[in-house]
Structures are given as structure tokens and as C-alpha cells.
Amino acid sequence: MADLRSDFLGIKSPNPFWLASAPPTDKKINVLRAFEAGWGGVVWKTLGTQVKNVSSRYSALTYNGQKAMGFNNIELISDRPLDINLKEIREVLKEFPDRAMVVSLMADNNKESWHEMVKKAQDTGAHGLELNFGCPHGMVERGMGASVGQDPEIAKMVVEWVMEVAQIPVITKLTPNVHSVVPAGRAVTEAGSNALSLINTIQSVTGVDLDTLVPNPNVAGKSVFGGYCGPAVKPIALKMLTTLAQDEVTRKVPISGIGGISTWKDAAEFILLGASNVQVCTAAMVQGFRIITDLCEGLNNWMDEKGYKTISDFQGLSVPSLTRWEELDINYHIIANINQDKCIHCGLCYITCEDTSHQSIDIKKGMPYNTYTIKDEECVGCNLCKIVCPVQDCITMEVHRKAPEYLNWTEFQKRGLPLNDH
């Protein structure tokens, strides 16, 4: 059995799965249910000046019958009285002292407000604070949320205010609604933020109702850009996470990974690319807290298989593999191979290669089943056929190096080697 315990800046939790600051962590009743289900920790839904929410609040993207593969919301920070939230945080801490309790904060844009908010939050006995510099809707218009996170100077200033009074670890949550997360990440790290978390949601319109012509979600015939999350954003989150894990400034602080984590595999990937723990929201919102069972078990079994005893054993191991394009080995060449015993003759490899790739698959008509084979000399090793093939391990990519030695693009040009002639 691997040890799933997590220690994030001294904030301990029995597993690395925290619920992100969002509707699931809005109040005591939810958080207690989450802890009973086995979640390692929560980031309490953002506290700030009390707001009012609208109805409706969420919308989602269905793809080929898969519901909520992308999700968005236009909910604001907590719309409950601050005192009730603080009281409930204390109560939960008492009931579950072994779980991580981090409080998300978003104060009005002045020093006094931030100082007051930080003090109130840490007075509860919470283990950490997360600064919400990422909320992309509603709060931005009031000079908060993403409008702080999008400007490294402002972000730095706010973190400095916070650090003046903070006595518990401070995590700064970054917005993805920027060209690069690195400038803001650096600014807040240099200002003293103890850790980073990302991503917050991405500005989005999930779709337009084709009957009413109103974009989703519909609030009395109008809509606003919402924050996009769910499985669809994972690749974007992973990329942003990697840029922080590679940057010489930001990599010095731990990162809490957020963005479309739905399974233990997603979690492992985030940790491999530099996260110290992960935060989950959408998956729990569309399935309930019970998903924690497989998140933990799956991760544990994978760690056992790989021989990792603790989370830190594999944390960041994939970061060095992400390099610059110029350093990729041009002599590396792979060619697809179709295992005829496994092939079910669906023809998806053929039609995709023929229409949109390199016409590298040969078709031999049969009744009713055609036979498909790879034209080795045409195949560029793009992976498309393997991606569309519905049968596991039917199409494999086999290595046929162009030459034994490593050769990158810079060197290739230097030697004046020939480009494609077709």
C-alpha cells in the first residue's frame, strides 16, 4: 500500500485530493459530507464582501452523448454572511481536525480590507489561505478576482498586503485568462506567496440555445461569459502548470493543481507535471463526493505498480520531458502497424488518414469487411490512426529511426540537410 498522505506547506491531509473553492465547499453541510466521503481537504468557497447570485448559474457541454465534458458557471463568491461562514469553518475544523482546511479569500481592493479578511479567516484556526485572483466573472467588474490576477503589479501588491498579517501558509490562485501565467506567478511568488494554485476557470460561452437563441446559461433572456472548467480544460491546465514547474522562480514554491481533474489518472498527470497536490470541483459536482473512493484507490494501485511509496516520489517526474520543439530528435521516426488479428475493419484509420493526413493506408475491398494495411513508406508517424482506432493496441507505432544518432532542428539546418520534396 502506497502512502497517499499529503503535506502541502505543512498542511496535512490523508490524501492529496482537496475540493476546490467552489459550490461544493460553500457551507458546513457540504463540507461535512465531503469529509465523511473521504476527501483530504477543502478550500472553502471564497469569502469576501457578501454578494447576491443569480439564477440560473451553470451550463455544460455535451459531446457525443458525454454530458458535462465541459462545464461553466456564472456564480460569484460566497453569497452567505461572512460570520456564518467563519462559524461553520470553526465547527468543521473541530469535527475533522485531520483534514486540510484552507479558506479562499477575495477582499475589496485595499490594504485594510485584505488585512481584516486575512485576520478573520486565520482566527478560525484554518490551516491555510488561498487568494482568489482568478474568478473571471462578476468580481472582475468590481476590480477583484481575475482583474487582480491578470495584472502582475496589482497581484504583487495584494500579496504583499496579505503577507504583512498572514500567520498561516498563503496560496495564490492564478487565472488562466492571460497569455502566460508565469508573469503573475513570478510576481506573487516574489511578493512572498508561499504557494501557487491553478487554474481558475476560463472565460467561455458553452453554447447558444437554438430555440431561444440565448447563450447558456440563460438568466431571463440574457447571459454572461462564464468560467469554463471540467474535463475539457485539463490539457490547458496541464500546460500552464508545466510552465510554472519549469520557471526558475515559480518552481521554488509548491503548486496545487486544478483544472478538469476527474480521475486518478488525471491526478497522477498533474502531480507528474509538478503539482504537489490537486483540487477537484466539476467531477464532484456532476457525480457527487463518492468519486473520492476511486480517486484514492486508483492512485494507490498505480503507485504500487510503479513502486512509488509517497506522492513526492513521482512529483514532477515528467517536467523535464517537456522540452522545446527545437530540441526534438528529427531522426526519431515511427510507423503505424495494424494488427490484423485485432482489426475490426471499421475503416476509421483509413478514412481519416486518406482525407486529412498522408494517404498512408491501403484498402483492399472485401465483403463485407475491408482489409487495411499501412503503406510504410508514406506513413509520417502522426498517431492519427492510432487515436481513432476503437480497438486497444490494434494500431501500434513502431520505431524505425531515420538514423541512429540524435539530430535536432538547429543541427539539421546547420548541416544543410534536405527538406521534404513532396
Catalytic residues: 135
Which is closer to other proteins, CB of 82 or CB of 351? 351
Residue from 37, 205, 334, 348 touching other proteins (CB under 8 A): that is 348
Contact between 387 and other proteins by CB under 8 A: the answer reads no
DSSP code of residue 5: -
**Of the candidates 1, 52, 55, 64, which one interacts with other proteins according to CB under 8 A?**
64
Site stretch for other proteins (CB under 8 A), options 119-127, 194-202, 220-228, 364-372: 364-372
Looking at 52-60, 175-183, 198-206, 359-367, which segment touches other proteins (CB under 8 A)?
359-367
- To other proteins, the closest distance from the beta carbon of 395 in angstroms equals 14
Taking the complex as a whole, the smallest distance from the CB of residue 380 to other proteins amounts, in Å, to 20
| Count of chain residues binding other proteins (CB under 8 A) | 17
> Which member of 163, 319, 322, 346 binds other proteins (CB under 8 A)?
346
- What type of residue is 193? S
Q: Are strands 371-374 and 361-364 parallel, antiparallel or unpaired?
A: antiparallel
Using CB under 8 A, pick the residue from 208, 290, 369, 376 that binds other proteins.
Answer: 369
Does 364 interact with other proteins (rule: CB under 8 A)? no
Q: Does 393 engage in binding with other proteins (CB under 8 A)?
A: no
Orientation angle between helical segments 28-37 and 292-306, nearest 10 degrees: 40
Phi then psi for residue 236, to 5 deg, are -70, -40
Stretch that binds other proteins, among 178-186, 251-259, 312-320, 365-373 (CB under 8 A): 365-373
Write the CB contacts of 288 (distance below 8 Å, at least 6 apart in sequence). none
Q: Of 1 and 210, which CB lies nearer to other proteins in the complex structure? A: 210
Q: How far is CA 366 from each of CA 278, 347, 356, rounded to the nearest angstrom?
A: 50, 12, 23
Is residue 345 a contact point for other proteins (CB under 8 A)? Answer: yes
Q: Determine the Cα–Cα distance for residues 382 and 335; give it in Å rounded to an integer.
A: 8
State which of residues 56, 203, 370, 373 lies at the interface with other proteins (CB under 8 A): 370
Cα–Cα distance measured from residue 207 to residue 227, given in angstroms and rounded to the nearest whole number = 13
Interface residue with other proteins among 97, 221, 307, 390 (CB under 8 A) is 390
Q: How far is the CB of 388 from other proteins (least distance, A)?
A: 9
Tell me which of 363, 387, 403, 417 binds other proteins, using CB under 8 A: 363
CB atoms within 10 A of CB 128: 25
Close Cβ partners of 24 (under 8 Å, ≥ 6 residues apart)? 30, 34, 42, 281, 284, 285, 289
Nearest to 150 by CA among 187, 177, 186, 188: 177
Whole-Å CA distances, 268 to 8, 99, 215, 274, 314: 16, 21, 35, 10, 9
Nearer CB in complex with other proteins: 310/370: 370
Select from 65, 307, 320, 404 the one that contacts other proteins (CB under 8 A).
65
For other proteins, the binding residue among 29, 208, 344, 417 (CB under 8 A) is 344
Q: Do residues 294 and 265 touch, judged by C-beta distance below 8 A? A: no
Which listed range, 1-9, 99-107, 243-251, 361-369, lies at the site for other proteins (CB under 8 A)?
Answer: 361-369
Q: Which is nearer to other proteins, 321 or 392 (CB)?
A: 392
Does 351 interact with other proteins (rule: CB under 8 A)? Answer: yes
- CB 230 → other proteins: shortest distance, Å? 18
- Dump the DSSP string for 332-386: --EEEEE-TTT-----HHHHHHHHHS---EEEE--SS--EEEE-TTT-----HHH
CB-nearer residue toward other proteins: 334 or 351: 351
For 70, other C-beta atoms within 10 Å of its C-beta total 22
Give dist(CA 130, CA 142) in Å, integer: 19
The answer to whether 364 and 338 have CB atoms below 8 angstroms apart is no
- Establish if 416 lies at the interface with other proteins (CB under 8 A): no
Using CB under 8 A as the binding rule, whether residue 286 contacts other proteins is answered as no
| Residue among 211 and 377 whose Cβ is closer to other proteins | 211
Residue at grid coordinates 485530493? 17
Max CA distance (Å), the chain? 78
Residues 109-148 within binding reach of other proteins (CB under 8 A) = none
| DSSP codes, 405-418 | S---HHHHHHTT--
Residues recorded for the chain: 422
Catalog residues that contact other proteins under the rule CB under 8 A: 64-65, 344-348, 350-351, 363, 365, 367-370, 390-391
